Copies of this chain bind each other. A is one copy, B any other.
Amino acid sequence: MARSGRRPGRTGTRDRILVSARAAFGESGFEGATVRGIARAAGVDPALVHHYFGSKEQLFVASIELPFDPQHLAALLVRGGLDGLGERMMRFAVSIWGQPRSLQVLLGIARSATSDPRAAEALRGILESSLLPAIRELGVDQPELRASLIWSQVVGLVFGRFVVGVTPLTAAAPEQLVAAVAPILQLTLTAPMP
């Protein structure tokens, strides 16, 4: 990905811009973030942002990067089999949103998903590259519907806890949420489906 730069510090500058772009999109969403603010936080001239990334839209696309490797997650979920899978899913979700930088990226994607198709695609990617392959590989029937229902439950939790601020969800300790939600996800994996 990194071509040899013509100037020293080229990759460093590009990366600094990406880091502050992720922070800004995470904080304010696509609409709220500004190239000027991102440039300021990165300590560069706004012209440099345009030089490296073109428009704000292109910068956003470059900065969309799930805070985990979807294939790694799929493998992790499959490894332990169907038993306790609901709990492993919740533990993974909680471990990701427990890291401030990962949470910031996730929220940036979630906030922008309502207005930007590429952010929506990144959210769908979690379903299509992680949950669905894992559930398929475990041989569960109706994997598409089950994976989608699990995805929507976790997205709803993130939305309630971090975007809308639903008190019982913001107040719950991660362990309490895992204990409360894991059996619900497990039922979603195992209940008869219409």
Chain A residues near B (Cβ < 8 Å): 29, 31-32, 110-111, 113-115, 120, 123-124, 127, 144-145, 147-149, 151-157, 159-160, 163-169, 172, 175-176, 179-181, 183-184, 187-188, 191, 193-194
Contact = CB atoms under 8 A, between A and B. Distances in A.
Contacts of A166: 124, 127, 148, 151-152
Given A159-B155, A166-B152, A194-B179, A111 B115 contact: yes
Contact of A152 (B165, B169, B179, B187): B169
Task: List the number of copies, as a whole number.
Answer: 2
The 8 A-B pairs of least Cβ separation, nearest first, read A156-B156, A152-B156, A179-B194, A144-B168, A152-B160, A148-B168, A111-B114, A120-B164
A156 B152 CA distance: 4
Contacts of A160: 148, 151-152, 155
B180 A31 contact: no
B29 A115 contact: yes
B144 A180 contact: no
Contact of A184 (B127, B154, B175, B184): B184
